[in-house]
Amino acid sequence: MIQHIYLSDFHGCAYAMDGDELIMTPMYDDMTYDTCIDNWIDVDFTSFQQGGDDIVHAEWVRNHLVECAGR
């Protein structure tokens, strides 16, 4: 069950935790997103440039969602 969702203007997507995995889905132009979690995908951290702003932001989002969940 997804408890917290983070909307990222930086990446233009919605993030959530599914167990220990960070998952995402793109946001639409009206800032909504697909609410069917089956349509979300795992975030592939290896696709980000190491040390770049993209991975730093994604790691921050993951840590933030884990903290919100109290894990």
As a three-state string, the secondary structure of 42-68 is ECCHHHCCCCCHHHHHHHHHHHHHHHH
Least confident of 31-35, 48-52, 56-60: 48-52
Residue 49 above 80 pLDDT?
A: no
- Mean pLDDT for all residues in the chain: 91
pTM of the model: 0.88
Phi, psi of 17 (to 5 degrees): -105, 135
Residue 70: its pLDDT value, please?
Answer: 82
Element (H, E) at 69: helix 53-69
Question: What are the extents of the domains in the chain?
Answer: 5-69
User: Which whole-number Å values give the CA distances from 37 to 16, 41, 51, 52, 60, in the listed order?
Assistant: 9, 8, 29, 28, 21
At 48, the pLDDT band (50, 70, 90 cuts) reads confident
